Chains A and B, each alone.
Chain A
């Protein structure tokens, strides 16, 4: 049996043992180097991405400068490129999605965190988080064939209630910024619900008990005490949802109408940055058009970076999973 101490000679760095020793040593070093390289790869890829975006949009940037962002004409035939209609469409549809999505999402989060029994809450949250896994093109499919016809039928009702505003005026053919807004709402709700629920659950029980002990109703407690406490995290989830909706491509492309013009009515068709890139990139013939589309990509990139930055700061400091 190994009662003779094989360990004794290994401890002293002698000839045979030191080779063994070296191998052990370098096992650590090799692992460190390999994993470090992979971590550096992320930095390299991101840097390369930014570099390529800049490099390939050099042409239109030189030609148009900042007026790229303010120009309203997008005409490949004459070589005039202005991004404002797309920025407008992107912002409007995302704003609409937030407008409808926040009350729905936070409302559902309140129900799941405060009212539903744990098992039901977990089960329903599981289902809602599955919604986040549904691919965008599926939402687009349902958008074209279900939502748009449904909205066409509902149009008179909507017009009756909101038709006096310029937002809901003009002809409605189904594909419109409004439809895109609705689809986006459905797509961002799971994120708002999931994160807001976590944040609300993280509010300490003492806070609620304090309000209830003063005679507040459940709703008053939630609205006046719990939500303000969870405010930062909920704001974070909203920013996250916004970032997602800005970059959302397929579902929007399929229902927004793809018209590069600015209209004041939501019933009118529009265009988003991601949608125009998706539709035109493959066929773009000349370098200027390609460059302009890539510059749009750069604009989108910048927008989402900023918004995501806000979101991370707000969310990570307040969920149950703790700060990273």
Chain B
């Protein structure tokens, strides 16, 4: 017969684990709810269409930050996705063992580097020689962050394509390259596309590397050589400011950013779980 003490410990400890779970899940729900109430309900069209106004004037928005983030992400993706994807193809389809090991290890290394250090890197590479902040340097910083994520996810999804499909294509006379591009990649396309989406969502929220590369801008930033506003950086700048109107805008911006990031994440994961993959 089980002693009362053992039974009690069992019940208490197991209940505590439930409490921990509730806390974790509850936090997410709290984050969502709070941002919705404080940011979502006061969201206006001005936010999306107007430029920031001088302090004290009402009616300002973050149109330039939205465009700036879009440009940065476009530049980052055009650097990070092709290099990462093709690198992933190499590891999955061509890799010899010791070189691949080095590449994977380095990928993990780069992946673990704090984003602010990547920002320093982009700074030393572009801002320093050019002498000014720019969209280019911000885009490069984000692009470098995207590369290791893209390599890892591409490699995982390409490897998941069964060997039997590759053999089937090669037995029909397809060369290795043809097999990869006409059979393997199409077979992995759900995973590859969602991988890209998750990558972009992850980088869209990054603030630290932009603080001293893209820097920020109260106005539009034409071209690629001028500093530009970005959504997460605006949130930060406005949040730590002493002006109530700015703080309110920080909430709205936070809500928009969160919705963007979470929507992409949920959508991507749903696609993956339907196909039987597990997102990482």
Within the complex, the shortest CB–CB distance from A255 to chain B, in Å, comes to 10
- Taken together as a complex, chains A and B put the C-alpha atoms of A293 and B115 apart, in Å, by 15
Contacts of B239 in A (CB 8 A): 137, 140-141, 144-145, 254
- Taken together as a complex, chains A and B put the C-alpha atoms of A300 and B115 apart, in Å, by 11
Q: Chain A residue with minimal CB distance to B13?
A: A219
A36 at the interface (CB under 8 A from B): yes
In the complex, are the beta carbons of A186 and B14 less than 8 A apart?
no
- Taken together as a complex, chains A and B put the C-alpha atoms of A288 and B266 apart, in Å, by 46
Identify which of B41-49, B52-60, B188-196, B204-212 touches chain A.
B204-212
Contact residues, B2-54 vs A (CB, 8 A): 2, 6-7, 9-10, 13-14, 16-21, 23-25, 27-29, 31, 34-35
Partner of B147 from the list A45, A48, A131, A141 (CB cut-off 8 Å) is A45
User: How many CB-defined contacts (below 8 Å) exist between A and B?
Assistant: 268
Contacts of A138 in B (CB 8 A): 31, 35, 205, 235, 254, 257-258
- Taken together as a complex, chains A and B put the C-alpha atoms of A130 and B102 apart, in Å, by 31
In the complex, are the beta carbons of B34 and A111 less than 8 A apart?
no
Within the complex, the shortest CB–CB distance from A284 to chain B, in Å, comes to 9
A3 at the interface (CB under 8 A from B): no
Known: A223-B13, A249-B116. A130 touches B262 (CB 8 A): yes
Partner of A45 from the list B102, B144, B278 (CB cut-off 8 Å) is B144
Query: Which of B29, B85, B115 has most A Cβ within 10 Å?
Result: B115
Please, how many residues of chain B have a CB less than 8 angstroms from a CB on the other chain?
96
A193 at the interface (CB under 8 A from B): yes
Q: Per DSSP, are chain A's interface residues mostly helix, strand or loop, or mixed? A: helix
Known: A137-B232, A294-B124. A250 touches B265 (CB 8 A): no
Contact residues, B71-112 vs A (CB, 8 A): 82-87, 89-91, 93-95, 99, 102-104, 106-110, 112
Please, how many residues of chain A have a CB less than 8 angstroms from a CB on the other chain?
88
In the complex, are the beta carbons of A217 and B6 less than 8 A apart?
yes
Contacts of A219 in B (CB 8 A): 9-10, 13-14
Within the complex, the shortest CB–CB distance from A261 to chain B, in Å, comes to 20
In the complex, are the beta carbons of A111 and B86 less than 8 A apart?
no
Q: List 23 A-B contacts (CB under 8 A).
A: A35-B89, A35-B93, A45-B110, A46-B110, A55-B124, A107-B19, A111-B17, A111-B18, A127-B29, A135-B232, A138-B257, A140-B239, A141-B250, A142-B31, A145-B247, A186-B27, A247-B112, A247-B114, A247-B117, A301-B114, A308-B108, A308-B109, A321-B280
